[in-house]
Amino acid sequence: MFRFKTLFGDRLSARLLETQTTQVVIGCAALNRMTHLGMPKSDKGRVSGEAA
């Protein structure tokens, strides 16, 4: 929740509950995508950067 509020603010701009829900779902999807892009790619049992 801390990271979500830091990136997207601590208030929702939408007024209706349905649109607030949509706003949060889109924000979570964006945060998950950013987190996924920042994850290192590694194989089990192999150190990152080793030649295959």
Its domain, for residue 6, covers 1-27
In a domain, 52, yes or no: no
In a domain, 51, yes or no: no
pLDDT tens profile 3-37 = 888 888 889 889 999 999 999 999 999 999 998 88
User: Is-contact 4 27, C-beta < 8 A?
Assistant: yes
Q: Which residue has the tokens 């701009």?
A: 13
In a domain, 35, yes or no: no
Residue 51 has pLDDT above 70, yes or no: no
Span 45-50, average pLDDT: 64
In a domain, 23, yes or no: yes
Report the number of distinct structural domains present in the chain.
Answer: 1
Residue 47 has pLDDT above 70, yes or no: no
Stated as kind and residue range, the H or E segment containing 28 is helix 17-38
- pTM of the full predicted structure? 0.66
Residue 52 has pLDDT above 60, yes or no: no
In a domain, 10, yes or no: yes
In a domain, 41, yes or no: no
User: Is-contact 25 17, C-beta < 8 A?
Assistant: no
